[in-house]
Chains A and B, each alone.
Chain A
Amino acid sequence: MLYREAGQFKATYAEDQQIFPIRQDRIGMAIILALAFVVLPLTADQYWLSAILTPALIFALATLGLNILTGYAGQLSLGTAAFMAVGAFMAYNFELRIPGMPIIGSFILGGVCAAAVGMVFGLPSLRIKGFYLAVATLACQFFVLWALQRVGWFSNNSPSGVIAAQKIVILGYVFDTPASKYLLTLTIVTVMALAAKNLMRSATGRAFMAVRDMDVAAAVIGIRMMHTKLLAFAISSFYCGVAGALFAFCYLGTVEPEAFNLDLSFRVLFMVIIGGMGSILGCFLGAAFITLFPIFVNLATGWVSHTLGIEFSHAVVSNLEQMVFGALIIFFLIVEPNGLARLWQIGKEKLRLWPFPH
């Protein structure tokens, strides 16, 4: 009754091409943005802002990056964490070695470095496909971590490669409270998500999708394979690189190369799958879900041990958590292989007809 496009006519090309063609979507988006920008920083406590909301947003950005590569351009990658590591360490180095470097500039340059690395390791995608490519991207994962640990220059010769991110200062304002860091992250993520959304409905995005659906056919209709695939790797790694820089500067503060291990790559891949491949909204849903999930499990085990009066040891809880996590992923894939974004789409279809479904 409330959510339907009946009576909303598009009279101009501009109206036809807007991101949210339905008025209710625009209102909903405005409400969400208002909530995220104004209400949450004012109401949420420090723990939520610094330990849940900020990392969730950063993961959403990394997921966005991987989703561009895997969901839109169809190139499976297991090296996401390595690209994030490049972004984090290079942003640190730009900030360290160039005096007066604006922090946003460092983030962007870190992303550019990640993009360069991504393009180098994306080169094999011109020859190999599918799982062969996925395994090949593991080379990137292991090589980058090795380089960050062994080459002292990256971490300014600190033992075991730990770096301490510099203070974030923009135009004289110091971002040191959880709320300010959250707002900075939110702003960057919002801008980049908007850019991604627009990019994916442009000619570039359509070329990506053509390559994903069938690369031979795409080549036949004149899409430049090398250009498109390398561009997909570059854009994806740029997003991951910026996410990595935010991960170091806005979330962890001090970070070592080991933080960007293969587990993190898989985590981001899970977010893509659970959120929904080829969906911008899905990135946020997936990231929120995976970030919130361990908290739910903790609460649930606490509740169970409280009601049953059994005290679980820490090892048992962590093993159980791992099992439930794995089982849940399998369950999700069986029930809704297209992810949370697809559920939202089904919900929208239902909403259009509600409450008279005929």
Chain B
Amino acid sequence: MQFFFEVLIGGLLAGVMYSLVALGFVLIFKASGVFNFAQGAMVFFAALTFVSLLERDWNFWLAMLVTLAVMVVLGMAIEKIVLRPLVNQPPITLFMATIGLTFVLEGLSQLLWGSQPHGLELGIPDVPMEWLSQAANINVSQFDVIAALVAGILVAALALFFQKTRIGRALRAVADDHQAALAVGIPLQHIWAIVWAVAGFVALVAGMLWGARNGVQFALTFIALKALPVLILGGFESVAGAIVGGLIIGASEKVAEVYLGPFVGGGIESWFPYVLALVFLLFRPEGLFGEKHIDRV
């Protein structure tokens, strides 16, 4: 039973890390209806820039600020160069454009900083928490808990930003209806630039945590693929869905790998989340928290 809880908690905490990536997808989808496949590449780009600056003996906070600035500029540039000319195109065209963007970002980051893997040290030890292992004999990594806390704070901050600020209200208006938002005088292009900048910030946080966990390397781009089942499970439009979906996917994936994997030859982590999300969607097509669409002829 203890082992089960260990697996479960480990899965839940890993799920929080997936949520961090999924959050970037949700932000952009909510505000512009773009399914941004480049989010994984943005995470990679942010992490690689950050770690490369650190390795050039920059101060931690300075490196973070500069990377943040780079991500904000990148977000605005994407809005200006890629999205603005594609206004009013069908969603699949925009989706394809973000796949193109993925190639550009992956090439660019490796061209700038080289393709060798880097280690990243955030100063958070990846060791089991002692009091918990003594009290309940369950090993939970301190790093995972801090990552989960960071994710929690980020979500709370984003929720406040969306609900309480002027820009947040404008964002929700744009998400509801582009044309109506334009009609009441919301500057659509500013809003999109802000959303992409925020998504860049989320990518930086996700990149730092994932980079500290697995090292900053090309494989980082694949975690975007892990975030996709989280997205469809939670619903594309819901920040809360990204978190809950991440928890479900993370926990079930680990539990399935440990308890189901040995019977079918292992390695089921690669597809299990997708099949789980797929089965789930059969019963609730718009995900857990997605907006229900009513189709009319």
Q: A residues within 8 Å of B by Cβ?
A: 70, 76, 124, 127-132, 134-136, 138-139, 142-143, 145-146, 149-151, 214-217, 220, 262, 266, 269-270, 273, 277, 315-316, 319-323, 325-330, 333-334, 337
Contact = CB atoms under 8 A, between A and B. Distances in A.
B90 to A, nearest CB: 8
B97 A330 contact: yes
Contacts of B9: none
A32 B295 CA distance: 45
A319 B99 CA distance: 16
Contacts of A129: 285
25 contacts: A131-B35, A131-B91, A131-B232, A131-B236, A132-B232, A132-B285, A134-B95, A135-B232, A139-B271, A139-B275, A139-B277, A143-B274, A145-B270, A146-B267, A262-B225, A270-B96, A315-B115, A321-B107, A326-B103, A326-B107, A327-B104, A333-B93, A333-B97, A333-B100, A334-B85
A124 B278 contact: yes
Given A131-B35, A135-B277, A273-B92, 8 more contacts: A132-B281, A132-B285, A135-B274, A136-B274, A136-B277, A139-B274, A139-B278, A320-B107
A87 B295 CA distance: 36
Interface string B244-269: 00000000000000000000111110
A217 B296 CA distance: 8
Which A-B residue pairs are the 9 nearest by beta carbons?
A326-B103, A139-B274, A329-B100, A323-B107, A322-B107, A326-B104, A142-B271, A330-B100, A143-B271
A319 B271 contact: no
B281 to A, nearest CB: 5
B297 interface: yes
Interface in B69-94: 81-82, 85-86, 89, 91-93
A356 B88 CA distance: 34
Nearest to A138: B274
Contacts of A315: 110, 114-115
Nearest to B114: A315
A337 B86 CA distance: 9
B103 A138 contact: no
B102 interface: yes
Contacts of A329: 96-97, 99-100, 103
A333 B96 contact: yes
B278 A330 contact: no
A165 B267 CA distance: 27
B236 A323 contact: no
A355 to B, nearest CB: 33
A130 B91 contact: yes
B229 interface: yes
Contacts of A273: 92-93, 96
A70 B265 CA distance: 34
Nearest to A132: B232
Nearest to A326: B103
Contact of B82 (A127, A128, A262, A330): A330
B184 interface: no
B106 interface: yes
Interface-centre pick from A322, A325, A328 (highest chain B CB count, 10 A): A322
B219 interface: no
Interface-centre pick from A139, A277, A321 (highest chain B CB count, 10 A): A139
Contacts of A330: 81-82, 97, 100-101, 104
A348 B212 CA distance: 57
A319 B232 contact: no
B108 A323 contact: yes
A217 B297 CA distance: 5
Interface-centre pick from A149, A315, A330 (highest chain B CB count, 10 A): A330
B228 interface: yes
B99 A220 contact: no
Contact of B111 (A70, A143, A320, A333): A320
A326 B100 contact: yes
A333 B86 contact: yes
Interface in B278-297: 278, 281-282, 285-287, 295-297
A20 B111 CA distance: 49
Contact of A150 (B108, B265, B286): B265
Contacts of B225: 138, 262
A183 to B, nearest CB: 34
Nearest to B100: A329
A132 B92 CA distance: 12
B228 A135 contact: yes
A345 B242 CA distance: 44
B225 to A, nearest CB: 7
A129 B115 CA distance: 38
B13 interface: no
Contacts of A216: 295-297
Nearest to B29: A131
A337 to B, nearest CB: 5
Nearest to B290: A132
Nearest to B89: A337
B253 to A, nearest CB: 12
